[in-house]
Amino acid sequence: MRSITRSASVVLVALACTSCTFESPLAPALDVEHTTFASSLGIDLTTMTKTASGLYYQNVTVGAGAPTAAGNHVTVHYSGYLANGTEFDSSIGKTPFGFTLGAEQVIKGWDEGMLGVRVGGTRKLVIPSELAYGGGSVGAIPPNSVLVFTVQLISIP
């Protein structure tokens, strides 16, 4: 009888734990369409282009010359914001940031969102958490955050 009770207890504990996730994120991921953006960000998803991955982008200023392509080393100035309008990072007034497009040196949303930009162009990116940091937190960026960036392409060396 004791082994039946013990077996039943083990089964009940196992069933109870199947719904437990020890690495569950603090907040559920929001899809971009259900995110409330601070008015200061000027986000109107209806005027932006949506990609198959869920990234939204808009050319604020169209630059000149050849468009960027995967493999190009690009130099940019950027400002990054949480959906509530809080700026979490910026290169403005600092050294511009350089990276190789498509080489996974930046978040997926940048690798995708900066394709086709011309030198001098500024693009606004609305990046779902899956293309940013997902369930992880980085500095002032909470888990599952939708991010907004304004990125100006300075050069394609």
**CA dist list (Å): 31 to 2, 90, 92, 147:** 50, 24, 29, 11
Positive or negative CA dihedral for 154, 87, 59, 68?
A: positive
Instruction: Tell me, yes or no, if 56 is annotated catalytic.
Output: no
How far the first Cα of the chain sits from its last, in Å, is: 78
DSSP letter assigned to residue 56: E
pTM for the predicted model, two decimal places: 0.81
User: Looking at the predicted structure, is the pLDDT value of residue 102 above 70?
Assistant: yes
pLDDT at 31: 86
Per-domain residue ranges for the chain? 26-155
144 within 8 A of 27, measured Cβ to Cβ: yes
Domain 26-155 has CATH 3.40.50.970: no
pLDDT in tens, 34-85: 999 999 999 999 999 999 999 999 999 999 999 999 999 999 999 999 999 9
Specify the DSSP class assigned to residue 95.
P
The active-site residue out of 37, 56, 107, 111 is 107
- Which of these is catalytic: 89, 97, 99, 154? 89
Q: Compute the CA torsion angle 51, 126, 112, 141 (nearest 10 deg).
A: -140
pLDDT of residue 11: 34
Which of 77, 78, 86 shows the shortest CA–CA distance to 141?
86
149 an active-site residue? yes
Mean pLDDT, rounded, for 116-125: 98
The DSSP element (H or E) to which 112 belongs, if any, is helix 108-113
